[in-house]
C-alpha cells in the first residue's frame, strides 16, 4: 500500500477483499459469488475515483510547469513518463482480464469488455483460469502469472528510477511479489501459486482489478513525490517577471473577473505599486498617469473587474518594485478573459455514448469562440470536422470502455483548456433479421420468393445510416415427419430454398435460423430467428 492514509472506503474494500480471498478455500456458494461481485464493483468504483485524484494532481503539476517552465520542466517530464508507464501497465492487466473472460466464455474481446460480471456463466470455474495463469507447471512458471509478476517487478523498477534515490524511502510501492506465502497445508508457495492456483474466475477478476488499484496508488505516490521535491528555495531565477494568476479566464455576465498579480522572488516586507489599463496589450511607462492603480496587500496585488459586457477583454499593466539600492524596477504583465452569457447544456448521462464502427456526430461549441478557433481532441480514436456542417465526427476503436473529448480554444494566439466530456464506448445494437420486412406471421408464397433473401435492419429509432451484412443462415422446413435444413452462405435464398418455398402448402411453417450478420467492424452477430407461415 502507499504511504498516505487510506480512506475508510479503501480500508473497507481491502478488508472485504482479504475475507473473500480466504473463502476460496471453502466451497463456493452463490452468496460468496455475489459477495465477490459486490467487492469487484467497489474496487472498480474506487479505481475510477483514484484516477480522478491522479488527474487532479497532474493538473496542479501542469499549472506550476506553465508558470515556472524552466525550473519545473525536468520534474514535469518525469511525471509524464510515470503516467505513460502506468497506462501501459494498466492496459496490460486489463488485457489479461478481458482475454481470460473472452476465452472462458467463448466470446470476443469486445464482448468481454462490455459484459457485466453477473452475466458471466462460468464465474465459479477454476480449471480454465488455473490453466491460463499457471499452465501445466507446478510453480506457475508456464502460465500468464509469471509474465504478470515480471511486468510488475519491471513496473516498480521503472517508477522508482524516476526519483532521486534519496527520496526512495518516502515511497512504499505495494504490489509485493517476493513475500512469504503459504497454502492451505501451511507449505510455502510463490506469488503466482498463492494468487492464481485453483482460484475461480470471479476471484481472478477482483485480484486483477486490485492490482490496478495498486498501480494507480504507485503512480499517485511517484507523481506526488516528484511534485513535492520542487521547492521555491531551489529556484534560481536569471530574471524576474510579473505573473497574473486569475481565478478563471471564462466568466459570465454579472460576475467579476478576479486575479492575483505576483512578482517572482519578491520581498513581502514591501508593497509594490501596480497600475493597469483595459483594452491594451502592453502598458508603457509614459502611460502610467492614464492608468488605474491596483490594491496591494502584503506584497500581493489583487484584480477585481466587474463583468459587464460579453466578449474577450484584455488588459495590461506594470508592477513597480524598489530593489535593495532604492532603484525602481518595472515589471510588465498582461492577461485576457472571456465574458459570456450563462448557457445551459442538459444531457442524459446514459446517452453519452459513442458507437464502435460508425461516424459519431458530435456537436462542439464554446460561447463567444468561433468554431475555427476550437481544438478538440479525443483520448482514443479519431476526431475530424464534418464536411457538411459544423459538427465533428468521432470514430472510436474496440478495446476501450470510455473515451474523453477535451476542447481547447485559441485566444490571443494561445490555446486555453475549455473542458472535458466523457463518453461510454459501446458496440452497435443488434439489428433485426427480416424477410420481406417480416420476422413472424403469415406471408404470401410469391412475396416470400420475391424478397430473395434475409436482410438485417437496424431499429427504427437508431439515428445512424448503416447496415449489417448477412453472411449465412439456415432455412428449416418440415415435410411430413421429416425436417429439412438448407444453408445459405450469404443473404440470398439458394435455388433449393426457392424450390422448397414454391412447393410449400398453405399453413406451412418456414423457419430461418442461425442467422449470422457482420457489423461494420467485422464482428459477427447471431440474430433472432424468423418464423413465417404460408398464406
User: What confidence tens digit (pLDDT) does each residue in 361-393 have?
Assistant: 888 887 767 778 888 899 988 999 887 777 888
Does 1 fall in a domain?
Answer: no
pLDDT classification of 134: cutoffs 50, 70, 90 = very high
Q: Is the pLDDT of residue 248 over 70?
A: no
Chosen domain end from 426, 460, 478:
426
Pair 119, 215 in one domain = yes
Residue 48 forms part of a structural domain:
yes
488/477 Cα distance (integer angstroms): 14
pLDDT band at 252 (very low <50, low <70, confident <90, very high): low
Element housing 510 (H / E) = strand 509-518
Q: How confident is the model at residue 204 (pLDDT cuts 50, 70, 90)?
A: very high
Examine the pLDDT at 274 and tell me if it is beyond 50.
yes
- Could you tell me whether strands 256-263 and 300-306 are parallel, antiparallel, or unpaired per DSSP bridges? antiparallel
For the ranges 24-28, 197-201, 271-275, 432-436, which has the lowest average pLDDT?
24-28
Predicted confidence (pLDDT) at residue 18 exceeds the cutoff of 80: no
Which tens digits make up the pLDDT trace of 276-297?
999 898 898 888 989 999 888 7
Q: Which residues contact 210 (CB under 8 A, 6 or more apart)?
A: 17, 43
Q: Does residue 34 form part of some domain? A: yes
- Whether 271 and 334 map to the same domain: the answer is yes
pLDDT at residue 11, rounded to an integer: 53
Distance between CA 73 and CA 79 in Å, rounded?
Answer: 10
Instruction: Give me the number of domains the chain comprises.
Output: 4
Looking at every residue in the chain, the average pLDDT score rounds to 82
In this predicted model, what pLDDT tens digit does every residue of 405-421 receive, in sequence order? Answer: 888 888 767 787 888 88
Q: What is the pLDDT of residues 313-338, one digit of tens each?
A: 888 999 887 765 567 878 888 887 77
Asked whether residue 270 carries a pLDDT value surpassing 70, the answer given is no
Task: Answer yes or no: do 331 and 223 share one domain.
Answer: no
pLDDT for res 473: 96
**Cα distance between residue 359 and residue 465, in whole Å:** 10
Find the farthest-apart pair of alpha carbons in the chain and give their distance in angstroms, rounded: 113
In a domain, 42, yes or no: yes
Residue 209 has pLDDT above 50, yes or no: yes
Residues 497 and 519 in one domain: yes
Give me the percent of the chain exceeding a pLDDT of 70. 83
Grid cell 442467422 — which residue?
515
Handedness of CA 267, 297, 313, 368 (dihedral sign): positive
Say yes or no: 209 and 146 in one domain. yes
Q: What is the pTM of this model?
A: 0.44
Grid coordinates representing 17 are: 477483499
What b/e readout covers 147-162, taking b as 16+ CB neighbours within 10 angstroms? ebbeebeebbebbeeb
β-pairing verdict for 482-488 and 181-182: unpaired
Write out the three cell numbers for 165. 534515490
What's the confidence (pLDDT) of residue 245? Answer: 63
Domain with 44, as residue range(s), is 8-233
Give residues with Cβ within 8 angstroms of 376, minimum separation 6: 364, 383, 392, 405, 406, 407, 408
* Residue 26 and residue 130 in one domain: yes
Q: Judge whether 2 and 218 are in contact, CB under 8 Å.
A: yes
Do the domain assignments include residue 326?
yes
**Model confidence over 435-456: pLDDT tens digits?**
999 999 999 989 999 999 999 9
Which residues 6+ apart lie within 8 Å of 499 measured at CB? Answer: none
Same domain as 152, residue 28: yes
Residues 6+ apart with CB under 8 A from 464: 355, 358, 359, 360, 458
Helices assigned H by DSSP within 359-472: 445-451
Question: Are residues 207 and 293 both part of a single domain?
Answer: no
Nearest to 523 by CA among 114, 121, 116, 117: 114
- Which of 233, 257, 287 is the last residue in one of the domains? 233
Q: pLDDT at residue 132 above 90?
A: yes
Tally of CA atoms within 13 A in the half-sphere of 444 that contains its CB: 4
pLDDT recorded at residue 53: 87
Q: Which of 426, 448, 481 is the last residue of a domain?
A: 426
Binned at pLDDT 50, 70 and 90, residue 257 comes out as: low
Whether 2 is in a domain gets the answer no
- Domain-embedded: residue 443: yes
pLDDT for 237: 38
Phi, psi (deg, nearest 5) at residue 80: -65, -35
Torsion-angle region of residue 441: left (phi > 0), alpha (psi -120 to 50) or beta?
Answer: left
Q: Are residues 259 and 145 in the same domain?
A: no
Q: Note whether 364 and 416 are same-domain residues.
A: yes
CATH code of residue 254: 2.60.40.1930
58 and 163 together in one domain: yes
Q: Which residues lie below 8 Å from residue 445, measured CB to CB, with a gap of 6+?
A: 501, 502, 504, 534, 535
Can you give the pLDDT at residue 238?
A: 41
DSSP state letter for 494: P
Is the distance from CB of 130 to CB of 201 less than 8 angstroms? Answer: no
Confidence grade of residue 476 (pLDDT, cut at 50, 70, 90):
very high
| 346 in Cβ contact with 359 (< 8 Å) | no
pLDDT of residue 14: 55
Could you please report the per-residue DSSP string of 430-448? P-EEEBTTBSEEEE-HHHH
pLDDT digits (tens, 9 = 90+) for 142-199: 899 999 999 999 999 999 999 988 888 777 777 888 888 888 778 899 999 988 988 8
User: Do residues 90 and 218 both lie within one domain?
Assistant: yes
The pLDDT tens digits for 48-106 are: 888 888 998 898 888 778 766 777 888 999 999 999 999 999 999 999 999 999 999 99
Query: Which pLDDT score, from 0 to 100, does residue 249 have?
Result: 58
Tell me the mean pLDDT in the region 288-313: 80
For residue 3, being part of any structural domain is answered with: no
Amino acid at each position: 500500500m502507499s504511504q498516505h492514509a487510506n480512506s475508510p472506503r479503501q480500508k473497507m474494500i481491502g478488508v472485504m477483499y482479504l475475507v473473500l480471498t480466504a473463502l476460496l478455500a471453502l466451497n463456493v456458494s452463490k452468496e460468496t459469488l455475489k459477495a465477490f461481485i459486490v467487492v469487484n464493483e467497489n474496487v472498480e468504483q474506487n479505481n475510477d475515483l483514484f484516477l480522478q485524484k491522479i488527474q487532479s494532481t497532474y493538473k496542479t503539476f501542469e499549472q506550476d510547469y506553465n508558470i515556472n517552465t524552466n525550473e519545473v520542466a525536468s520534474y514535469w517530464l518525469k511525471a509524464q513518463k510515470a503516467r505513460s508507464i502506468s497506462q501501459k501497465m494498466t492496459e496490460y492487466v486489463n488485457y489479461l482480464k478481458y482475454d481470460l473472460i473472452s476465452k472462458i466464455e467463448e466470446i470476443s474481446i469486445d464482448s468481454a469488455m462490455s459484459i457485466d460480471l453477473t452475466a458471466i456463466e462460468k464465474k465459479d470455474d477454476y480449471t480454465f483460469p488455473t490453466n491460463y495463469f499457471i499452465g501445466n507447471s507446478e510453480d506457475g512458471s508456464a502460465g500468464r502469472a509469471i509474465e504478470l509478476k515480471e511486468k510488475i517487478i519491471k513496473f516498480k523498477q521503472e517508477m522508482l528510477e524516476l526519483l532521486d534515490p534519496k527520496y526512495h524511502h518516502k515511497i512504499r510501492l505495494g504490489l509485493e511479489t517476493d513475500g512469504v506465502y503459504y497454502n492451505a497445508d501451511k507449505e510455502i508457495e510463490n506469488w503466482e501459486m498463492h494468487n492464481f492456483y485453483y482460484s475461480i474466475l470471479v476471484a481472478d477478476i477482483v485480484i486483477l482489478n486490485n492490482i490496478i488499484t495498486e498501480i494507480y496508488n504507485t503512480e499517485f505516490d511517484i507523481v506526488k513525490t516528484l511534485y513535492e521535491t520542487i521547492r521555491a528555495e531551489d529556484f534560481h531565477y536569471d530574471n524576474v517577471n510579473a505573473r497574473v494568476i486569475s481565478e478563471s479566464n471564462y466568466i459570465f455576465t454579472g460576475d467579476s473577473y478576479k486575479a492575483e498579480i505576483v512578482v517572482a522572488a519578491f520581498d513581502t516586507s514591501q508593497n509594490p505599486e501596480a497600475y493597469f489599463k483595459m483594452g491594451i496589450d502592453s502598458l508603457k511607462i509614459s502611460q502610467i498617469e492614464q492608468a488605474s492603480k491596483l490594491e496591494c496587500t502584503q506584497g500581493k496585488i489583487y484584480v477585481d473587474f466587474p463583468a459587464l459586457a460579453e466578449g474577450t477583454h484584455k488588459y495590461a499593466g506594470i508592477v513597480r518594485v524598489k530593489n535593495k539600492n532604492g532603484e525602481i524596477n518595472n515589471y510588465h504583465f498582461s492577461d485576457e478573459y472571456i465574458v459570456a452569457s450563462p448557457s445551459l447544456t442538459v444531457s442524459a448521462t446514459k446517452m453519452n455514448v459513442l458507437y464502435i464502427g460508425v461516424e459519431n456526430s458530435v456537436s462542439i461549441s464554446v460561447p463567444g469562440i468561433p468554431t475555427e478557433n476550437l481544438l478538440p481532441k479525443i483520448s482514443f480514436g479519431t476526431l475530424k470536422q464534418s464536411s457538411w456542417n459544423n459538427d465533428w465526427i468521432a470514430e472510436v476503436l474496440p478495446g476501450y470502455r470510455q473515451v474523453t473529448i477535451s476542447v481547447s480554444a485559441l485566444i490571443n494566439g494561445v490555446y486555453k483548456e475549455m473542458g472535458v466530456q466523457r463518453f461510454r464506448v459501446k458496440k452497435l445494437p443488434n439489428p433485426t433479421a427480416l424477410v420481406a420486412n417480416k420476422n413472424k406471421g403469415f406471408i404470401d408464397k410469391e412475396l416470400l420468393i420475391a424478397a430473395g433473401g434475409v436482410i438485417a435492419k437496424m431499429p427504427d429509432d437508431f439515428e445512424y445510416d448503416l447496415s449489417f451484412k448477412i453472411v449465412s443462415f439456415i432455412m428449416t422446413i418440415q415435410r411430413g415427419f421429416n425436417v429439412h435444413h438448407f444453408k445459405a452462405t450469404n443473404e440470398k435464398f439458394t435455388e433449393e430454398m426457392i424450390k422448397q418455398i414454391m412447393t410449400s402448402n398453405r399453413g406451412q411453417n418456414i423457419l430461418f435460423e442461425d442467422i449470422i450478420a457482420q457489423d461494420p467492424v467485422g464482428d459477427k452477430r447471431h440474430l433472432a430467428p424468423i418464423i413465417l407461415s404460408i398464406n
